[in-house]
Structure 1
Amino acid sequence: MRLEQLINKYYDSLNENDLYVISFISQNLELCGDKTVSEIAQYSNVSASTIIRMVKKLGFKGYSEFRYFLKEEIKSMENTKVSSNDYFNSSTVLEDVKATIRLFEQDKSAEKIYELMVSSKRIFAYGTGYGQGLMLSEFSRCLMNSNIHLIIIPSKVELELIAQSITSDDLLFIIGLSGNVDSIEPVLKSISLKGTPMVSVTVFSRNTLSYLTDYNLYYQVSNMNKTSNLNNTSFCTLNLVLSLLYEGFINYSKDHPQSFLQEE
């Protein structure tokens, strides 16, 4: 699991000091990778005990285990570095594809998502933009091969309407890019209160959508327009992660045929 994923997973238990320390470390990974907790405390101007409490909130036994994790994080980042060329470069897309596959392989929640896809009475999906909606249409077409009907929610108005009747027996996919969902955050919170499982699919980063949902799938996009916060290249890696989810579901259904028989 990557650092960003850990932050999303344990975000609710982190206070302002924790987030400050994490932000400092994430922005200075190479500096922090081989430093002691006392040195990091000095650099970040907090106490060593504050850092130790923070790493324990992230699931580590102590700072030594966390420092080993940071070293692995640095290695992983070095392996996924891409060209800073502002023009389209096929190697950029290739690295994004490799990183997306790696993120999916490292994710431990996929099987639970497959279980929910089988057991849920209804499966809804909402795309936060036009491109995301196009990718959902293809995902829906693929799922029909397994007799899974994906109900695509076309707009915010319909999402608000569905929020009134959705239940804990349903499943909701939210497909986004940056994960900034200010306009629908109240609706998602109301759905969450009903106990409806939610799965987010976003670019790999700390983002609001990941905090609001139960399960998070990520894809890599390197070529982002800093002004519009939109993808400069294509939605190929979003399509890829949905394809990986579909292929994984197909394999899951072959290994668990009894689940489908019970549903029927």
Structure 2
Amino acid sequence: MNIDKDRKINLGSLNKNQIEFYNFATKNINIFLEKPIPEIAKLYGVGVSFVYTFFKKLGFNNSREFIFYLGFNNGEEFIQKMNNQNVDINPNYALHKITKESNIVNRLLLEKQFDKITDLINHITKANNIYGLGFGYSKLAIKDISGLFTKLNITFNLVNNERYEDATRIKEITKGDIVIVYSLRGIDKNVINWTKRIKKLTENQVKIFLITSNTKSQLIKIVDSYIEIDNIMKRIDILDKDLLLSPLNSFIFFNNYIKTLLYIMNKEKYKTIKDFREEMHSWIYEKN
């Protein structure tokens, strides 16, 4: 990062509240070094957007540029401390914090939708066949949960393992089956087209469930039931931190919740299944 130590900033571009925040920053430099921006905003009593707007008005692209500017005006020792400590963008701390926040939101969302989730689980246990639909990270999430299904003798098929134009498995979906669609953003045209086609072919005789974070998705009007989950990707701001997360995180929390509840609701039946017991023991005791 190239920062001009002789750089001049235009305080005249700031309003009264922003000038007060600037004064706060110059008197509390260590806070900017030690805490991430969301915590600084909370400490000062403003929203995160207020801080980002403040940076933008002064011509800084992110918090690091602003901190370096403060450092040049408060001695090289401070800059060295920042380079050595770098707490503000510590990946370990930041990733843990963001994941924890997302998990809390997911827990609250799923508790609020408990009736929808138990309905999904009841359909899973009663369905003749379960069909999954999803692309990219969504496809990986479906494969994750389908691993348990196979150990519980639940018939599962991934619909989009075939080309859309040549799809034959989709025509096998009949009354008594269910379809579970995974789409975090709910905007993928492939998912929308496949879901529409399934709806049309099954003539509304097959229940379609959707797992998504986008409650305004076009898919909501097509499916029979949807469950909202948190989109962890919205918690990343690359203007502030160099963090990269996987959308799969949001689905994994949901999958674990479903797996656990599915087992609790059918424990007496599932605990007698040899393949399932052996699978669980192999993970716990690390033995084949």
Q: What residue is the counterpart of 1:233 in the other structure? A: 245
Contact 2:128 2:155 (C-alpha < 8 Å) held by counterparts: no
Pick aligned residue for 2:105 from 96, 99, 108: 99
Q: Using the TM superposition, give the Cα deviation of residue 160 of structure 1 relative to its aligned residue in structure 2, in angstroms.
A: 4.1
Q: What residue is the counterpart of 2:233 in the other structure? A: 223
Aligned ranges 1:159-198 → 2 under 5 Å: 160-193=167-200, 194=202, 195-198=205-208
Distance 1:142 1:156, change over 3 A: same
Q: Which has the higher contact order (CA 8 A, sep 6+)?
A: 1
Contact 2:184 2:212 (C-alpha < 8 Å) held by counterparts: yes
Normalising by structure 2, report the TM-score.
0.52
Contact 1:181 1:208 (C-alpha < 8 Å) held by counterparts: no
Q: What residue is the counterpart of 1:16 in the other structure? A: none
CA distance in 1 between partners of 2:226 and 2:268 (Å): 23
Contact 1:160 1:187 (C-alpha < 8 Å) held by counterparts: no
Q: Using the TM superposition, give the Cα deviation of residue 208 of structure 1 relative to its aligned residue in structure 2, in angstroms.
A: 1.6
Quick check: which has more Rg, 1 or 2? Answer: 2
Q: What residue is the counterpart of 2:8 in the other structure? A: none
Q: What residue is the counterpart of 1:212 in the other structure? A: 222
Distance 1:226 1:180, change over 3 A: farther
Contact 1:156 1:184 (C-alpha < 8 Å) held by counterparts: no
Structure 1 residues without counterparts, runs of 5 or longer: 1-77, 258-264
Q: What residue is the counterpart of 1:260 in the other structure? A: none
User: Given residue 148 of structure 2, which amino acid in structure 1 is its aligned partner?
Assistant: C
Q: How many residues align?
A: 174
Distance 1:177 1:156, change over 3 A: farther
Q: Using the TM superposition, give the Cα deviation of residue 179 of structure 1 relative to its aligned residue in structure 2, in angstroms.
A: 0.4
Does residue 153 of structure 1 match 2:165? no
Distance 1:83 1:219, change over 3 A: farther
User: Given residue 260 of structure 2, which amino acid in structure 1 is its aligned partner?
Assistant: E
Distance 1:152 1:104, change over 3 A: same
User: Given residue 198 of structure 1, which amino acid in structure 2 is its aligned partner?
Assistant: I
CA distance in 1 between partners of 2:223 and 2:147 (Å): 24
Deviations 1:173-206 (A, max 9, x none): 1111200143343442342242211111112432
Distance 1:255 1:115, change over 3 A: farther
Distance 1:209 1:150, change over 3 A: same
Pick aligned residue for 2:265 from 241, 247, 252: 252
Q: What residue is the counterpart of 1:20 in the other structure? A: none
CA distance in 1 between partners of 2:155 and 2:139 (Å): 16
Aligned ranges 1:1-264 → 2 under 5 Å: 89=94, 90-107=96-113, 108-129=115-136, 131-155=137-161, 157=163, 160-193=167-200, 194=202, 195-224=205-234, 232-234=244-246, 235-254=248-267
User: Given residue 112 of structure 1, which amino acid in structure 2 is its aligned partner?
Assistant: D
Query: SS of the residue aligned with 2:185?
Result: coil
Stretch of structure 1 that moved more, 84-93 or 181-190: 84-93
CA distance in 2 between partners of 1:186 and 1:145 (Å): 31
Deviations 1:27-68 (A, max 9, x none): xxxxxxxxxxxxxxxxxxxxxxxxxxxxxxxxxxxxxxxxxx
Deviations 1:141-196 (A, max 9, x none): 12233222321234462694333231121111111120014334344234224221
Stretch of structure 1 that moved more, 150-159 or 239-248: 150-159
CA distance in 2 between partners of 1:203 and 1:163 (Å): 25
User: Given residue 246 of structure 1, which amino acid in structure 2 is its aligned partner?
Assistant: K
Q: What residue is the counterpart of 2:277 in the other structure? A: none
Distance 1:144 1:163, change over 3 A: closer
User: Given residue 253 of structure 2, which amino acid in structure 1 is its aligned partner?
Assistant: L
Once the two structures are aligned, what percentage of the paired residues are identical?
A: 13
Distance 1:251 1:113, change over 3 A: same
Query: SS of the residue aligned with 2:233?
Result: coil
